[in-house]
């Protein structure tokens, strides 16, 4: 029936929009969780190196780039490290080097 078509199209549009909104919500939740871990890792790094928050973020970014590891993964490993978590050797070396570099004038 031609009269039913607009209602069906609208319902299909709404279902599509709902699916898109659910996907966006998931992405936002993931971003919030990543941001929290990154902030915690900055805290660990600034405590370890007696740095400013900006320098702490720079150290994380440098370690991420030099080890070809996503920033959120570097952050998660660094947050777990003081509680006995393992810090991979390449990450540990990159962290030490980044801390040295950021402290140099």
pLDDT class of 1 with cuts at 50, 70, 90: very low
**Threshold 0.75, pTM exceeds:** no
- When divided into structural domains, the chain yields a total of 1
Question: What residue numbers bound the domain in which 18 lies?
Answer: 5-103
Task: Give yes or no for a contact between 78 and 85, defined as CB atoms under 8 angstroms apart.
Answer: no
Return left, alpha or beta for 43; rule: phi > 0 is left, psi -120 to 50 is alpha, else beta.
alpha
User: What are the pLDDT digits (tens) for 48-105?
Assistant: 999 999 999 999 999 999 999 999 999 999 999 988 888 999 999 999 999 999 988 7
């Amino acid at each position: 029936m031609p009269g039913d078509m607009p209602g069906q199209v609208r319902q299909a549009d709404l279902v599509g929009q709902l699916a898109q909104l659910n996907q966006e919500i998931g992405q936002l939740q993931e971003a919030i969780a990543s941001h929290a871990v990154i902030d915690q890792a900055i805290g660990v790094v600034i405590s370890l190196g007696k740095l400013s928050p900006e320098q702490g973020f720079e150290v994380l970014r440098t370690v991420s780039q030099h080890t070809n590891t996503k920033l959120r993964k570097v952050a998660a490993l660094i947050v777990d490290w003081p509680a006995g978590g393992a810090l991979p050797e390449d990450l540990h070396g990159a962290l030490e080097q980044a801390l040295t570099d950021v402290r140099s004038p």
